[in-house]
Amino acid sequence: MLDKNFIDILACPLCKSAVSQEADFLVCTNKNCRHKYRIVKGIPIMLAEDEKQSIDMRITAKKWHCQYELKKTKETSKADLKRLKNSVEHIKKYWHKTPQKLLLEAGCGDSVNSFELAKEGIMTVGLDISFNALEMAKDNFQKAGLKSWFVCGDMLKLPFKNDTFSFIYAGGSIEHFRNTEEAVSQLRATLECKGILSALVPMVSLSSFTYYQLQGQIPDLPIIRPLAEFIHINILKEKLMKNGYEKSFTIRKISNIFKACSLTEIEAGFFKDEYDIKYIKNDFLRRILKTIATWPIFWPIIYVNGTKRNA
């Protein structure tokens, strides 16, 4: 049986009613809906499967499924470890400014951030569309004797009750939608009052038009965005889209999205990242590129935070 406190925060993604457990399923308590969600290996799969997937979700889900399959056999790189240290420090800095009850990692992947936070006694919930990733995460938590709850679900149809989380960390996830506003507004609804949403997203800089074109990135700018979508989806048939459908934003654009979703005290800026320059094998050239990547005109990642002040 799933933990009762876990079931209490969950909601049917279709109608937002409470759910209850019946054997290996969570069942919507709304008698006009009664949708059933399977629980596999202790992870509820709360996806509205009967709905046709949008193109951005289809490309993203497929690519991340493959990436996590590969990750099972891949060693963690030094850059990955440094990046993790930076993101965990970033999360802790803002977590302490919230009511500090429950933390959601939205688009958690294999939950490496939540893993570090759980070691410090923070209660985390991991949501991802990739069951593969959640299975890896749950396994790692169990082996280390750490507690967390995991849900397979879609950020555009969140399976949580409103006013639930003190803090939401969306590291590298809200850029995977054509409709970023919808994702931010759904996440905001599940924050409790005084809760903070913190996201990391790719930045529109010279990197977006050069290096990140090799990964099929879509700069979210007028004219450029439909053009890049057409090239990467229709002409190149998604071949370069390593991270699925992935946009980059200017600081102004992502801040305006947060503002439009009624978040307040918006703060945005450069996020210190570590870079794997994967396509260049020459060490000297790689070092030069890593240095150039830290120049503001090439900066790849930005963070944006917003607070929920009222219902």
Ligand X SMILES: C[S@@+](CC[C@H](N)C(=O)[O-])C[C@H]1O[C@@H](n2cnc3c(N)ncnc32)[C@H](O)[C@@H]1O
Interacting residues with ligand X (CB under 6 A): 57, 60, 64, 105, 107-109, 112-113, 127-130, 133, 154-156, 171-173, 176
Give whole-number Cα distances, 298 to 200, 202, 270, 295, in Å: 16, 11, 11, 6
User: Smallest gap, in angstroms, from Cβ of residue 13 to Zn ion?
Assistant: 8
Task: Tell which positions 20-49 bind Zn ion, by CB under 5 A.
Answer: 28, 30, 33, 35
Q: By three-state DSSP, how is residue 97 classified?
A: coil
Beta carbon nearer to ligand X, 127 or 284: 127
User: Smallest gap, in angstroms, from Cβ of residue 64 to ligand X?
Assistant: 4
294 close to 279: Cβ distance less than 8 angstroms: no
What token pair was written down for 93? 């800095």
Contact of residue 108 among ligand X, Zn ion, none (CB under 5-8 Å per partner type) = ligand X
Alpha-carbon gap, residue 295 to 36, rounded angstroms: 50
Beta carbon nearer to ligand X, 109 or 300: 109
Beta carbon nearer to Zn ion, 34 or 287: 34
Q: By three-state DSSP, how is residue 280 classified?
A: coil
Alpha-carbon gap, residue 307 to 311, rounded angstroms: 11
Beta carbon nearer to ligand X, 199 or 263: 199
198, β-bridge pairs? 169, 305
Contact of residue 156 among Zn ion, ligand X, none (CB under 5-8 Å per partner type) = ligand X
Q: Which H or E run includes 284? A: helix 283-293
Alpha-carbon gap, residue 259 to 276, rounded angstroms: 33
Q: Pick the stretch among 12-20, 40-48, 151-159, 198-206 that binds Zn ion (CB under 5 A).
A: 12-20
301 close to 202: Cβ distance less than 8 angstroms: yes
User: Smallest gap, in angstroms, from Cβ of residue 134 to ligand X?
Assistant: 9
Angle at CA 94, nearest 5°, toward 88 and 99?
Answer: 120
User: Smallest gap, in angstroms, from Cβ of residue 124 to Zn ion?
Assistant: 25
What token pair was written down for 310? 């009222």
Beta carbon nearer to ligand X, 129 or 254: 129
Per-residue x/- track, 190-219, Zn ion (CB under 5 A) = ------------------------------
Contact of residue 146 among ligand X, Zn ion, none (CB under 5-8 Å per partner type) = none
User: Smallest gap, in angstroms, from Cβ of residue 158 to Zn ion?
Assistant: 13
